[in-house]
Homo-oligomer: A and B are copies of this chain.
Amino acid sequence: MAKILVVDDDRELQENIVEVLAEAGFDVCAASNGEEALEQLATTAIDLVLLDSIMPGMNGMETLPQIKRAYPQAKIIMMTAFSTVDSAVEAMRKGADDFITKPFKIDEIIMAIRRSLEEAKFAACQEMLNMDDMFKCLANAIRRKILFLIKEEGRQRFMDIARKLEIDDHTKVNFHLKVLKEANLLEQDGRKAYQLTPQATKIVACLNSISEA
């Protein structure tokens, strides 16, 4: 279930939107201005922000780039009663994913939300589908063994890896370590010991959870 943050200083409109979106099946929370929005985002995983452009304190146009910078995965739909081509273009260039004019119809905002959430899902799938190097790496059994050896026993030096995996031909180990480095799954520290990259750590933990499920 997608989590949506409604940011608007008009308390009545805000509550109206929250109620309607909740009825439409979304998990909704609210903030009255930019500062509150950033606070909410800091503690809650938000999928999409409905952001009013005119608010006292930090307004929508000022808040937008800050949210985009700190929470790039969150989709942002800018709402405004005073829309011009210039303000629309400015908002989109600052990172808004959509732009909607008040007063709007309910199904209009719901459709915009659904479209933006769909785009977010698509982007997440694309990112994973594009991890070609990583998938090609994991196709090879020796390389899987190397990753798990390092996960289980910590960083390893070249000949330790070869010995523990019982591979006599060091050049075979060298080839596979090179492939792992080029795929950004392994890196070397000051002593040339091999360790997992953050990405590899994530992947190995995830794959481990398949066996446990």
Contacts and interface: CB of A to CB of B under 8 A. Distances in A.
Interface stretch (A54-62, A109-117, A130-138, A185-193): A130-138
B135 A148 contact: no
Nearest to A127: B211
Nearest to A139: B139
Interface in A180-213: 202-203, 206-213
Interface string A121-149: 10011011100100110110100110010
A30 B209 CA distance: 26
Contacts of A145: 129
A33 B6 CA distance: 54
Copy number in this complex? 2
B136 A207 contact: no
A39 interface: no
A152 interface: yes
A70 B139 CA distance: 32
A124 B212 contact: yes
A26 to B, nearest CB: 17
Interface of A: 121, 124-125, 127-129, 132, 135-136, 138-139, 141, 144-145, 148, 152, 202-203, 206-213
Given A121-B152, A139-B139, 9 more contacts: A125-B152, A128-B148, A128-B207, A128-B210, A135-B138, A135-B139, A203-B210, A206-B207, A206-B209
